[in-house]
Structure 1
Amino acid sequence: MARWDERPLVGRTAELATLLSAVDRAVAGRGAAVLVAGDAGVGKSRLLDELTGRAAARGLRVLTGHCVDLGEVGLPYLPFVDLLRPVADELGDGAAALFAARSAAARESEAADLGSPVRALRPPVDDGRLQLFEAVATALSGLAADTPLLVVLEDLHWADRSSRDLVRYLLARLTGEPVAVVASYRSDDLHRRHPLRPLLAELVRLPGVERLDLGPLPDADVEQLVRGLAAGVPDRTVDDVVARAEGNAFYAEELLAAGLAGESLPLLLTDVLLARVEQLSPAGQQVLRVAAVAGRRVRHELVAAVGGLAPADLEAALGEAVHSHLLVVDPDGAYRFRHALVREAVLADLLPGERVRLHAAVAAHLAGVPGAGTAAERAHHLRESNDLAGALSASLDAADEARRLAAPAEQLQHLEAVLALWPAVPDAAARAGRSQAELLLDTAAAARRGGELHRAVALLRSAQDLLGPDGDRELRARVHSTLAQALGRIEDQAAALRESTAAMALVPAVPPSPVRTWAAATHARVCYDVGRRAEGDAAAEEALAAADALGLDGAWADVAVSLARSRGGEELPARLEEALARARRSGDPDVEMRVLFNLAIVAYEAGCSGETLRWSDTALARAAELGVEWSFYAAELRHLGVVSRYVVGDWDGSLALADRLARVPEMAAHVRAAGLLVQVGRGDPAAAERIAWARGLVGRLDAHVLLLLATAGAEIDLAAWAGDPATAVATARSATETLTGLWGDDRLAVVRLAATALAPVGDAAATARLTGDAAAEREWTAAGESLMAIARSAVEAHARLIGPHGVEAAAWIARVEAEAARLAGRPAPELWAAAVEAFGYGHVYEQARSRWRLAEALVAAGDREAALEPLTRAADAARELGAAPLLAAVTALARRARLELPGAGRVVETAAVFTPRETEVLALLARGRTNRQIGGELYISEKTASVHVSNILAKLGAGSRTEAVALAAARGLLPTG
């Protein structure tokens, strides 16, 4: 694993700019100084390393001095000895001239040893300090007279008094010199009586001196730092390090090393953190122990009740902890640890008995004082004090609180804590008011609401194992039915069918019951998914009638969606809106999100992207209100919102929605992956990194179809713009194979992949034809034909199994047919015009891409004048979207076709670059002629033909004949006659 200071600087752009501004002022001849403050490990030294490297690259001389913690016994002027030693070593006897301002006596007594900065800086007597200070200032001024100077002083909090006085003098004295002084110090070490504090207050009032506070790195920068330290770090490890490091680079490095080694808190880091704690008095350390056990934040009343200190001693101890920057006071009066890792270190240092006793005391205080703490806090302290029964009850209360607050992730956490405690508490069922199997069902429901579908499946399977074949039939049916829904959402349709069938077999249809009604509704949905329409219709009709009879609005709405989607028709939106009214009346958020998703997707399939956005935005606001933002259908709606914004041309909004939340469940990773469409379309260099991230998730979640499609689509498009047809073809084939295995004949989505991959394949075939490479032309033609077969097979299967396709699919089918003609070497502008029209349903980017190809086809067909209009419109759209690759392709086509495209620059005529004879030779080169053949056709010697070919290659900067032809074509210099 690389050290963090060996990697490129992460973050700190604004802070580095501030420091470089001071350097620039020094270069301009004005003194400047910056005092850099920050906690230990936050990255001060790494930032200063970057600064010194940048300053040296700008031609400055850099001198660096370090202060050292030597306790009460310090070496005077140590940092200045450190920074001037290299100068003295370099100048040797010439160093004497630098200290011309010193007294004659000083000069005579020390002249023999001026090569040693230790002797040079030691004042002979106390009243000679001014001479010494002026000597140092003169030395720095003399050095800066030849080259601007950057003086870096690190760890000023450890500076001795003499060094502090010299810093004060220099910053006042060097204001008119080309010298920049940058001094760093630890802000967390500056207790109230620290000797550096008054000096800092004085220095910031000097002209040209500014203070720079180095705060914690943002989480995104810490994540980038961690991923740069070691390759292939698991996401969970990265998330843990980011959360615990709290923006501290050193802590992040140590935590990563510990995490990769399987440790909790590394010993080195524990020692560093505890060293500061152990400097406190015994009472101060006791306060920290109580606070550490109580939690990250603790109120004064709790410390007073548990700490066992007299009021006066408590006040003094808390003051000591605050002034030492171990605790800070929040605006509401509560105390919290300045950094969570300090708390972790204090906790780790507690003896087991002491920890249990303190947790019990905290739990007793929370229970005895109304409103003193939450149920979650009580549960934690009861569990840590070994009161497991009390912890189980408190965890149940905490889960109920989380449910009321619409916080499914926290509810899941507390319910899983109850499940863990269940075997150790004899009366667990009585305390919970339900059986363990019912609790597993409730826990699975929380997991589903939080987007943890695989966890929900595991919990439901545990419930099945617990119930066994002889358990309560209705409860078993509920588990089977719920499991069928979860399995369907992770693309395991075969298992979902087995579970829904088992649920139907356990409960009779007569008399109607809620369990049977939901079982039938679920079975109908699963049957439609696997193509068993008659069985699905029967189950749906039964569920619909029973739901009406029992007043089960949620079940009615759910089955109504399944029926409406299965049967389609013009009345579909109206039926879905009726289902929405019933779903909202039922209070079932899962069903409501399903109805909203179907309203949005029906609009999308009809080509009504604006309507799609209306429904998806409404649904996402409702999901946030209900606290189910990452439940299955809420995630699908977010994904649909990202894609719809991409389609209508709101690329900024699309990317913002994809990245709105920092962390998402793995089953919602396709939301973030959908942002790749914009990144690739804009030519963002970060797209490749995000594709690699998404591809890694696809490997783990091999049944996540939307993640697969988003990743494969972006990878194909990126390969297309990079001129890499092999990658595009391989990716399209692999994705098709996976999708066919999961969805069988219902794989219409692969048409888009095939169409996108056909673009670079067509380019490769065209290049092969241009250069006369018959073997390459055959290879790429065969590859393109295999892609066309994939697309056409998917269209035929969809028509046979499902019926007519929507407008989006029609547009991609039109694109495939146009690409097929291009692959065969036929311009076919009529096919590209059909693609332009097909994407006119509202897909701004793809319509622009089709216009670009239409213009290309028109040029190839000899109608250059007609090509200008679609080419201009494609360029306008590309500029509006920020689609740099498309704009570059449009501009290149305009140059090749010698069309005056607004904003693309003047057209260069071939005659302005090549002589008439070179133009003739270039035309024959493009046809693959050898030098002998060129000479024969032009009635010149082979040697003369060779000279003309060499001149052409030189003018184009080409290394080969093939490259020369390609470059000439790209620049619009290839003769058209």
Structure 2
Amino acid sequence: MARATIGGVPRWDEGPLVGRASELARLLAHVDAAAAGRPSGVLVAGDAGAGKTRLLDELSRRAAERGVRVLTGHCIDLGDVGLPYLPFVDLLRPVAADPELAPVLARRPVLAGLLGGGSVPERPGPELGPPSPHRTLSPPDDDGRLQLFESVAGLLGELATEQPVLVVLEDLHWADRSSRDLLRYLLARLVDERVAVVASYRADDLHRRHPLRPLLAELVRLPGVERLALEPLPDADVQVLVRRLGSGLPGSTVEDVVARAEGNAFYAEELVAAGLTGEALPGALSDVLLARVEQLGPTAQQVLRVAAVAGRSVRHELVAAVGGQAPAELEAALAEAVHRHLLVVSDDGRYRFRHALLREAVLADLLPGERVRLHAAVAAQLAARPETGTAAERAHHLRESNDLPGALTASLEAANAARRVGAPAEQLQHLEAVLALWAAVPDAAERAGRPQEAVLLDTAAAARAVGDLHRAVALLHAAGELLGADGDREARARVHYTLAQLLSRIEEAADAHRESSAALALVPAQPPSVVRTWAAATHARTSFALGRVPEATAAAEEALAAADALGLDSAWADTAVSLARGPAGGDAAVVRARLEEARARAERSGDADVETRVWFSLAITAHDCGEVEEALGYATAGLARARELNVEWSFYGAELRHLEVLTRHALGDWDGALAAADVLARVPEMAAHVRADGLLVLVGRGDPAAAERLEWARGLAARWDTHVLLLVAITTAELELAVRDGDPETAVERARTADRRLQELWGPDRPVSLRLMATALAAVADAAAGARRAGDTAGEARWVAEAEELAALGRAAGAAAVAAYGPLGREGRAWTTRLSAELARAQGAPAAELWRQAVAEFGYGHVYEQARSRLRLAEALLAGDDRAGAAAELAAAHEVAVRLGAGPLRTAVEALARRGRLDLPGVRAVEADAVFTPRETEVLALVAQGRTNRQIGAELFISEKTASVHVSNILAKLGAASRAEAVALAAARGLLSGG
């Protein structure tokens, strides 16, 4: 396919292959089979741009790395002027140009004509015997070509005696007849030669009468020949590709490209270019798509235009009514479009475009008047026969035909329909359309049956349900401005308390309290009313968040009494949660009993937001008590209920998912944790921390994908700096990477910055700082230990001082949480002990008892952190010469690391086992005087200078990946768990260059 010239963005074929892992594995299996003497063939089918060439390039590279000779031939579209055997001439030219292979070629003079050095004989040569009886295809007609065909087959067979051969034929849909016949012969002729043949073709080019179709039907019946269809790439893979092609693209642009590309890599590449240049649809891509449309007859092209306006999927009756063709003419046109793979027939009998961008290109090619006329005709048909479409479809066509009053009415109908079926995202979309049309429709309020501020409140509720909290806040502000200072007091109060609920969820605690106070001031306490009750319930929540306990308690008592009097179960349940989760909630049994009652009342009320808040409170209460399995049970049950209520990605739906990821990670179900984090490739910004939580697993496993996810999360955090849980997920990953890379400066800076921001947003309620400081301390303790081993007293003093400051910050955070909310839970106590143990390690004390205590305390249910504590305990026991105890702890930690796939932890455990000469399954001790290769010596010197892998690669003219391999080898040879430790050990042994 011709490609557009794209400036400023990388190409898809630059860098590692994205996706297609299973397809590549299947192709490599065929190569391996051929290398073992079992020749085979694969016919790779895929639409234009699906990635056939990129996949075959990667196959060729991998095959060459395995010692396979790769011969590649390309077919070219030359129209009616075909060059016979062109792809085979292409693949044999490197053979002819290789002096070492000249004797092989010389023994087959008939090939000289094929390669331009002679002529192909017109009569067959000596009888060569039929192909093997194991093959079912007959030889080609005896028209003088048999000798040529056998010569090609014999040449490949002889080459394969030296090394296996992979024959790659690209774009078989353009192959001439002679090449098709030769391919047919080869696949029938090869029996035990070490040859694999892989041929690609465009599935969307094979119309019913295409000459390749009968050949493919024959070939797939051969033993050893299979068809491999390249399906569209999953959205997650397209997202990876898009972010690589357009580094730094806004998230909205990435999501748009992913949605529009529909799994087609070439389309994604062109759309990224459009995103950088501002084009709606790249001209080159539009030209490619329209070129296929222009191959149709005039009637079929007109049918496509009607179908494009009607929608991605369209009924036959609608095309017939709008297009106006006679039945026979219409059916012939539709058949032509289907046979040319521009339209496909869905299971429900509708016609749909093979790809959404094809429809976009057809739409863009319409003249403005034609577009308006067709939309009006479609809208009229839908109005005449409502059963053929929905209100949403009718609204779209009315809007595009400039009937704005009709579009507003239809959008209201569509919003109500979405509300009735519990589809808040669609309801939001339609209500947003209503608001956009409001000013242009003079009688909008009469059509809506309510004033604009009421529509704004409904729209804000829908935005809240789908997790778009910032949009909901903006809509509520707009409603408040419309009401003004003299507006209805109850309506204004409703706006204020709803705003307070949303602001509290985006960490705007002071603003939330101001709004709930304003709501209370607008409505009297007597007589009890729904609005006053909710205002009081909300005020209790916002006051507790600021530590204003007496004010919060008074508002809560009022809300509970009024809710009971009015039978308002939702407000009662919401207030009960605020009391249970507040400072005076009581012991765990009392809290749980109150929450269970709240859950029953919330379910009875039908308020999805309150009910999911209760489920989350049950889960987080169990989690805070260290009952991890119970917390996971509540989280999964709450998520199931949120799905039933269609609020899975509302605020508390996302929080339940967040807890599911954390608990699965703690319990050692890392695959389940990552699946939960990645359940959606695109999540609402408010729920970004859920996807960022996947960093726990990616970083813990040393997965390179962590870097890309971390970059994505940082970009979002830069736009939303009050998203605390996103901040925590990012900082945790950054600290873990700093520990792994021996970068204590980064660890200290990130931990301190995060703690300052947590104090600003959460005040004393930040026990998570204990975990952050303890993790940062690990990097600082490594640096202090390395300086101590190297005899660097100044460096040791510096890092010990840093460790003491970090420990003080962590203890202050823990003490503040205790003062405000009572004793820490099991997890908090475990991290407090870890903090003390890491400080002792930094100060040079083994602290075996502290590490033993950390192992015991993380036994509440955090498998990974317990294993990491075992590693440090083993280190401390080795320092005390308790080799048996150290071996037992290392064995337990190793089992967990292997089971979780926690590569960095496994490396550290095995390094300590080597260094301590301890037995560990599969680990071989390395002698203390291990020496390095010359390249490793160069790399070690740069590591000692603090260079990153990328900097090392640039200085030594090697890739970053190669530099990483050298660093890993150095760590293994020294038995070091980190770069800092490796430098210290190498210095102590005199292995540093110049040392």
What TM-score do the two structures reach when normalised by structure 2? Answer: 0.87
* Residue identity in the other structure for 1:448: R
Q: Which residue of 2 aligns with 1:625?
A: 644
- Over the matched positions of the two proteins, sequence identity in percent amounts to 67
Q: Work out whether 1:410 is the aligned partner of 2:426.
A: yes
Q: Which residue of 2 aligns with 1:903?
A: 921
- The CA deviation string for residues 35-59 of structure 1, in whole angstroms up to 9 with x for no partner, is 2222112122222223333344444
Q: Work out whether 1:644 is the aligned partner of 2:663.
A: yes
Q: Which residue of 1 aligns with 2:119?
A: 120
1:262 to 278, 289, 292: 278
Contact between 1:99 and 1:136, CA under 8 Å: does it hold in 2?
no
Q: Which residue of 1 aligns with 2:243?
A: 227
Q: Work out whether 1:272 is the aligned partner of 2:306.
A: no
1:479 to 464, 481, 495: 495
Q: Work out whether 1:569 is the aligned partner of 2:569.
A: no
* Residue identity in the other structure for 1:466: L
* Residue identity in the other structure for 1:846: E
* Residue identity in the other structure for 1:568: G
Distance 1:85 1:910 in 2: 54
Q: Work out whether 1:68 is the aligned partner of 2:86.
A: no
- Displacement of 1:892 in angstroms is 3.7
Distance 2:983 2:580 in 1: 60
2:198 to 176, 179, 182: 182
- Displacement of 1:401 in angstroms is 1.8
Q: Which residue of 2 aligns with 1:712?
A: 731
Contact between 2:153 and 2:189, CA under 8 Å: does it hold in 1?
no
Contact between 1:141 and 1:177, CA under 8 Å: does it hold in 2?
no
- Displacement of 1:909 in angstroms is 9.1
Q: Work out whether 1:4 is the aligned partner of 2:20.
A: no
Distance 2:733 2:659 in 1: 16
- Displacement of 1:313 in angstroms is 0.8
Q: In structure 1, the residue corresponding to 2:679 is in which secondary structure?
A: coil
* Residue identity in the other structure for 1:373: G
Distance 1:75 1:314 in 2: 38
- The CA deviation string for residues 198-254 of structure 1, in whole angstroms up to 9 with x for no partner, is 222233334443322222222222222222223212222222112111121211111
Distance 1:373 1:615 in 2: 41
Distance 1:202 1:805 in 2: 72
Distance 2:891 2:529 in 1: 65
Unaligned runs of 5+ in 2: 1-8, 125-139, 932-970, 990-995
- Displacement of 1:964 in angstroms is 8.4
- Displacement of 1:369 in angstroms is 1.8
Q: Work out whether 1:145 is the aligned partner of 2:162.
A: no
2:838 to 812, 819, 839: 819
Moved more, 559-568 or 205-214: 205-214
Distance 2:690 2:249 in 1: 22
Distance 1:201 1:655 in 2: 42
Moved more, 828-837 or 767-776: 828-837
Distance 1:51 1:878 in 2: 32
Moved more, 626-635 or 397-406: 397-406
2:699 to 680, 684, 696: 680
Q: Work out whether 1:19 is the aligned partner of 2:38.
A: no
Q: Work out whether 1:723 is the aligned partner of 2:742.
A: yes
Distance 2:400 2:799 in 1: 67
* Residue identity in the other structure for 1:599: L
Distance 1:431 1:118 in 2: 83
* Residue identity in the other structure for 1:693: W
- Displacement of 1:775 in angstroms is 0.7
- The CA deviation string for residues 663-700 of structure 1, in whole angstroms up to 9 with x for no partner, is 21111111122222233333333333322322222222
1:850 to 865, 869, 885: 869
* Residue identity in the other structure for 1:117: G
Q: Which residue of 2 aligns with 1:696?
A: 715
2:605 to 586, 591, 600: 586
Contact between 1:101 and 1:135, CA under 8 Å: does it hold in 2?
no
Quote the RMSD (CA, aligned, Å). Answer: 3.1
Q: In structure 1, the residue corresponding to 2:875 is in which secondary structure?
A: helix
Contact between 1:658 and 1:675, CA under 8 Å: does it hold in 2?
yes
Moved more, 688-697 or 451-460: 688-697
Q: Which residue of 2 aligns with 1:369?
A: 385
Q: Work out whether 1:33 is the aligned partner of 2:33.
A: no
Q: Work out whether 1:134 is the aligned partner of 2:144.
A: no
- Displacement of 1:325 in angstroms is 0.7
Distance 1:397 1:368 in 2: 16
- Displacement of 1:312 in angstroms is 0.8
Moved more, 722-731 or 261-270: 722-731
Q: Work out whether 1:330 is the aligned partner of 2:349.
A: no
* Residue identity in the other structure for 1:130: D
Distance 1:525 1:509 in 2: 18
Contact between 1:392 and 1:417, CA under 8 Å: does it hold in 2?
yes
* Residue identity in the other structure for 1:366: L
1:345 to 342, 345, 361: 361
- Displacement of 1:355 in angstroms is 1.3
Q: Work out whether 1:172 is the aligned partner of 2:188.
A: yes
Moved more, 565-574 or 160-169: 160-169
The total of aligned residue pairs comes to 919
- The CA deviation string for residues 748-781 of structure 1, in whole angstroms up to 9 with x for no partner, is 2201111111122122212222222101111100
- Displacement of 1:303 in angstroms is 1.2
Q: Which residue of 1 aligns with 2:484?
A: 468
Contact between 1:7 and 1:229, CA under 8 Å: does it hold in 2?
no
Contact between 1:204 and 1:210, CA under 8 Å: does it hold in 2?
yes
Moved more, 249-258 or 866-875: 866-875
* Residue identity in the other structure for 2:169: L
Moved more, 424-433 or 836-845: 836-845
Contact between 1:93 and 1:115, CA under 8 Å: does it hold in 2?
no
What TM-score do the two structures reach when normalised by structure 1? Answer: 0.88
Taking a change above 3 Å as real, the CA distance of residues 908 and 326 of structure 1, as seen in their structure-2 partners, is closer
Taking a change above 3 Å as real, the CA distance of residues 756 and 887 of structure 1, as seen in their structure-2 partners, is same
2:820 to 797, 801, 804: 801
Q: In structure 2, the residue corresponding to 1:766 is in which secondary structure?
A: helix
Contact between 1:98 and 1:139, CA under 8 Å: does it hold in 2?
no
Distance 1:699 1:876 in 2: 39
Q: Which residue of 2 aligns with 1:859?
A: 878
Contact between 1:84 and 1:117, CA under 8 Å: does it hold in 2?
no
Q: In structure 1, the residue corresponding to 2:143 is in which secondary structure?
A: helix
Q: Which residue of 1 aligns with 2:225?
A: 209
Taking a change above 3 Å as real, the CA distance of residues 778 and 122 of structure 1, as seen in their structure-2 partners, is farther
Q: In structure 2, the residue corresponding to 1:130 is in which secondary structure?
A: coil
- Displacement of 1:93 in angstroms is 14
Contact between 2:149 and 2:185, CA under 8 Å: does it hold in 1?
no
Distance 1:188 1:461 in 2: 51
Moved more, 801-810 or 261-270: 801-810
* Residue identity in the other structure for 2:521: A
Contact between 2:122 and 2:143, CA under 8 Å: does it hold in 1?
no
- Displacement of 1:18 in angstroms is 3.5
Contact between 1:840 and 1:847, CA under 8 Å: does it hold in 2?
yes
- The CA deviation string for residues 358-390 of structure 1, in whole angstroms up to 9 with x for no partner, is 112211222222421112111111111111111
- Displacement of 1:417 in angstroms is 0.6
Contact between 2:157 and 2:195, CA under 8 Å: does it hold in 1?
yes
- Displacement of 1:851 in angstroms is 3.1
Distance 1:406 1:511 in 2: 34
Q: In structure 2, the residue corresponding to 1:662 is in which secondary structure?
A: coil
* Residue identity in the other structure for 1:883: A
- The CA deviation string for residues 782-819 of structure 1, in whole angstroms up to 9 with x for no partner, is 11011011112212322333333222212211222222
Q: In structure 1, the residue corresponding to 2:379 is in which secondary structure?
A: helix
Unaligned runs of 5+ in 1: 914-952, 971-977
Contact between 2:915 and 2:926, CA under 8 Å: does it hold in 1?
no
